[in-house]
Amino acid sequence: GISSNDEMQLSLDPDSSPLVNTRWERVVDDAFTTLFVVELMLRVLGIRSEFFKEADWQWNVFDVLVIGMALVEILLRATGISGGVVFVLRVVKVFRALRLLRVIRFVRHVNVLHAMSLAIANCSMMLVWAVAFLVLLVFLFSIMLIDAASQYISEHGQNAEHLDALQAFYGTLSMTMLTLFMSLTGGVDWWDVVQPLLEISAGYCIVFILFQIIGALAVLNVINATFVNDAMESARKNPDLRIHREMEDMKFMLQRLTALFQDLDAACS
């Protein structure tokens, strides 16, 4: 992240000096890469043929790919970068950033993060269908609004009021969909979007408000409720989290019983 920031600053101002010494960054990065290589070799020597057969074999393959890309980057940097390998180097940098995903392997040891990651993973298909439904809703209303805008511009030509706003917000179908999505999620002010529609007809303003009612009050709330319900259900059914909850309940009961017996002992004495 620091090296990417420095590269951006140098791209914007080639005469400026990087915030962090590039050589020092490379030394630290190479040191971490060396540690990862040693750790991977020790794991391979420890479990041998089970490296690609154990329960977490997918993570092992991921580690091999990430470390391999890191070694490729070191090799390219050592041999010199030519124009033909710039794209390869960019791909390598992306894989280097993916090393942060290794942290996910240890999420299961932190119950709160484990519950969150489990909920997100179990809601992936629900997310796909929610996005598909939202895109369909935006698409249907976009067709109505872009037809109104195109007809209005055709009738009034270049003398149409708010022509620039109509072209900016409703110039193409994709731009109209983006406008509706931004208005639904707070990316653009309602008045900026509705004002050109008022010049066309108040009816299209009602159409826009109807879209907001359906999208914000119905669709998004239903999606949120569904996600919360699925997340709670997945956390409730997970055996690790269930055992943790039972242990916490048992610990709480033991504390209550201990306090109760201490009070009884003090009262009797």
Give the model confidence (pLDDT) of 221-258 as tens digits. Answer: 888 887 777 777 766 776 666 676 677 778 888 888 88
Q: Tell me the longest C-alpha to C-alpha distance in the chain.
A: 98
Q: Which residue has the higher pLDDT, 12 or 28?
A: 28
Domain boundary among 64, 80, 109: 109
Q: In whole angstroms, what is the distance from residue 205 CA to residue 197 CA?
A: 6
Give the model confidence (pLDDT) of 20-46 as tens digits. Answer: 455 666 677 777 778 878 877 887 787
Instruction: Verify that 129 and 226 share a domain, yes or no.
Output: yes
In a 10 Å sphere around its CB, with 0-12 CB exposed, 13-18 middle and 19+ buried, how is residue 70 labelled?
A: buried
Give the model confidence (pLDDT) of 38-67 as tens digits. Answer: 877 887 787 777 777 766 677 677 777 777
Percent of the chain with pLDDT over 70: 66
For residues 227, 228, 233, 234, the Cα torsion angle rounded to the nearest 10 degrees is 60
Domain boundary among 77, 109, 141: 109
Domain assignment present for residue 260? The answer is no
Domain assignment present for residue 8? The answer is yes
Domain assignment present for residue 82? The answer is yes
Closest residue by Cα to residue 188 from 199, 176, 198: 176
Give the model confidence (pLDDT) of 110-143 as tens digits. Answer: 566 666 666 676 677 777 888 888 899 999 999 9
- pLDDT score of 224: 81
Give the model confidence (pLDDT) of 177-198 as tens digits. Answer: 999 999 988 888 888 889 888 8
Domain assignment present for residue 67? The answer is yes
Q: What is the DSSP string of the chain?
A: -HHHHHHHHHHH-TTSPPSS-HHHHHHHHHHHHHHHHHHHHHHHHHHGGGGGTSTTHHHHHHHHHHHHHHHHHHHHHHH---GGGHHHHHHHHHHHHGGGGGGGGGGGGSHHHHHHHHHHHHTHHHHHHHHHHHHHHHHHHHHHHHHHHHHHHHHHGGG-TTHHHHHHHHSSHHHHHHHHHHHHHTSS-HHHHHHHHHHH-HHHHHHHHHHHIIIIIIIHHHHHHHHHHHHHHHHHH-HHHHHHHHHHHHHHHHHHHHHHHHHHHHHH-
Q: Which residues span the domain enclosing 87? A: 2-109
- The most confident of the ranges 77-81, 192-196, 261-265 is 192-196
- pLDDT score of 117: 67
Q: In whole angstroms, what is the distance from residue 223 CA to residue 180 CA?
A: 18
- pLDDT score of 177: 92
Q: What is the average pLDDT value for the chain, to the nearest integer?
A: 75
Domain count, the chain: 2
Instruction: Verify that 103 and 129 share a domain, yes or no.
Output: no
Domain assignment present for residue 253? The answer is no
- pLDDT score of 269: 64
Domain boundary among 82, 109, 136: 109
- pLDDT score of 53: 72
Domain assignment present for residue 69? The answer is yes
- pLDDT score of 154: 82
Instruction: Verify that 136 and 177 share a domain, yes or no.
Output: yes
Domain assignment present for residue 24? The answer is yes
- pLDDT score of 19: 46
Domain assignment present for residue 254? The answer is no
**Whether residue 148 has pLDDT greater than 70:** yes
Instruction: Verify that 126 and 233 share a domain, yes or no.
Output: yes
Instruction: Verify that 73 and 162 share a domain, yes or no.
Output: no
